[in-house]
Structure 1
Amino acid sequence: MPQGYGRAGGRKGSTSGPGRKSGQGAGQEGECICPKCGTKISHKRGIPCLKERCPKCGTPMVRA
């Protein structure tokens, strides 16, 4: 294998391709929903729905 290439054959230090922080977040708009009781709240920017608790039953919310 030529020098400068990693084990997977890609160039070392390459910024192409998937990876961490590749824009897969759902964005700032939308709702969080409780999977247990169905309560919906608006999504708060910078706070993942899983970190939010349902105001009615206390279950962690999921993205709607």
Structure 2
Amino acid sequence: MDYLFTVLDARRITACCNDTNLKSARLLERLGFRLEGHFLEDAAFKKDEDGRPIYISSLYYALLRREWL
């Protein structure tokens, strides 16, 4: 993230993970990311046996340069 903020001059970094992936969520929080949203049933990557989409929910995080530096 130092590289993104200092060399590439990023202002904001975002990340998202499945809401059931608690290890990834904890890692983002330990790195200083702030939870910005919990999107329910926002994506479907698989279908059930009847062809209906199986939706997942996601946690969206962000970190601003001023929060990191």
Instruction: Provide the TM-score with structure 1 as the length reference.
Output: 0.30
Which structure carries more relative contact order (alpha carbon 8 Å, separation 6+)? 2
Q: TM-score, normalised by structure 2?
A: 0.29
Greater strand fraction, Structure 1 or Structure 2: 2
